Amino acid sequence: MDKATDTIGARIRYWRMRRGGLSQAVLAGLAGVTQSYISQVESGRKTIDRRSTLVAIAAALQVTVADLLGQGAEPGDPARERAAECVPAIWSALIEIEDGERRASTRSREQLAADIARSDQLRTRSHYPAMARLLPDLLLEAAAVGGIVLAQVAYQASTCLRQLGYRHLALNAARVAVTAAEDAEEPAWLGAARFAYAQSLPIESASLAARAADRSLIELQAGASDGRIRQMLGQLHLSAALTSTVSGRPDAGRDHLAEATREAATLGDPPDGAGFNGCGFGPTNVRLWEMSIAAELGESARVIELSRTVRPQVLAASIRQQSYWLDLGRALAESGRRDTEAVAAFVRAEQAAPAPFMLNPLAQDAVVAMVSRAKRRAIPDDLRLLAGRMGVSLAQ
């Protein structure tokens, strides 16, 4: 497949053909959707808005969700290629750390602290390709110190790898963070590391991620008087709310969301927009996750309604601002009648976090669907420009 046609729908058709020419009707029956839905997804006229639907289709095709999303495998994207050059070295560093090897540090504590702060600034601005270039040496330097320093850098590595599509390596980094936080006996950082672990699990393991979050919530409850721990308890509730919903347990998801809402109401939004470890936990972040959960439930109107109550700019992390505009854009595009507003939202998402937006297959598929609809009339200039930046073909 070339970049112009390498969409989720095209990959579904590819794997359907690889499975002995499985018909759309049979695939639809196995995945619990309609044949018309599969047809529209494959042709690019419709997007897949629910993670649970991706899981069901991938299972029916006997592939992974990552196979359908093309994560970590698409050539030709400069951001991914720059980051990909660093991934083998990051992997090697993680293996070395997991095997217990430790090199002597070559940096002073002050220099190491400054380098970690630089990496964290890049994380806040979602400059993941630049962050990836720092991580191989930074991981080894942090390992020489161990404890909270290693937990923090491993957390950064997990976030960076996951956002770039290397979820399996993100899981390795999260495990390193968990071990380091346990060794340091630091509950707040253990909560952060557990959150990274739950976030790094594949979509197919949503039920496992929810159970992992539940266990972590019990483990951290004793330290709930610490404001940092309370923020991580809130984040773990949000993670469990989404993964419970994805795994078909919406009631449990609502319970976790309610707990996060109560915790956020007492804490408020972090004054600096970041909070402990940049998690940004507070009422604004809760509403952003609520938008994502509504999208997972197929409630596009609810996503749009919630968006009117959120001011994402109060949070420092650009990836959270992108989440707002991306969820809103997809909800607007879903109706098929508000594409102009959807394009404007996607442009805002791109401005907030360019590299993750360009690497997001769900964003690309939404743009493909809008281009397909626009072919019945003139393609608006703003959609034409956005599609061009994403490598989406405009050929009739």
Of 54, 70, 86, which residue sits at a domain end?
A: 70
Would residue 40 count as lying in a domain? yes
Would residue 307 count as lying in a domain? no
pLDDT at 249 over 50: yes
76 and 195: one domain? yes
pLDDT tens for each residue of 57-100 = 988 988 888 888 876 545 455 666 677 788 999 999 999 999 98
Would residue 104 count as lying in a domain? yes
pLDDT tens for each residue of 142-153 = 999 999 999 999
Give residue 165's pLDDT.
84
Give residue 78's pLDDT.
62
Give residue 395's pLDDT.
63
Give residue 214's pLDDT.
86
Residue 219's domain comprises 206-293
Give residue 79's pLDDT.
60
* For range 46-55, the mean pLDDT: 85
* For range 257-284, the mean pLDDT: 95
pLDDT tens for each residue of 289-337 = 999 999 999 899 999 999 999 999 999 999 999 999 999 999 998 876 7
Would residue 299 count as lying in a domain? no
Average pLDDT along the chain: 88
Q: How many domains does the chain have?
A: 4
pLDDT tens for each residue of 334-357 = 876 788 899 999 999 999 998 888
Name the more confident of 281 and 11.
Answer: 281
pLDDT at 23 over 60: yes
4 and 26: one domain? yes
* For range 89-118, the mean pLDDT: 92
Would residue 302 count as lying in a domain? no
* pTM, entire model: 0.87
Of 247, 278, 293, which residue sits at a domain end?
A: 293
pLDDT at 386 over 90: no
59 and 169: one domain? no
350 and 379: one domain? yes
188 and 89: one domain? yes
Cα Rg, the chain, nearest whole Å: 21
127 and 211: one domain? no
pLDDT at 285 over 90: yes
Of 293, 308, 338, which residue sits at a domain end?
A: 293
76 and 167: one domain? yes
pLDDT tens for each residue of 171-195 = 999 999 999 999 999 999 999 999 9
* For range 24-34, the mean pLDDT: 90
Give residue 313's pLDDT.
92
Give residue 71's pLDDT.
65
55 and 107: one domain? no
Would residue 390 count as lying in a domain? yes
192 and 214: one domain? no
Give residue 360's pLDDT.
84
78 and 178: one domain? yes
* For range 164-171, the mean pLDDT: 90
85 and 176: one domain? yes
List the single range of 179-183, 184-188, 241-245, 392-396 with lowest mean pLDDT. Answer: 392-396
pLDDT at 4 over 70: no
Would residue 212 count as lying in a domain? yes
* For range 21-40, the mean pLDDT: 90
191 and 212: one domain? no
- Of the chain, the percentage scoring pLDDT greater than 90 comes to 56
Would residue 305 count as lying in a domain? no
Give residue 396's pLDDT.
46
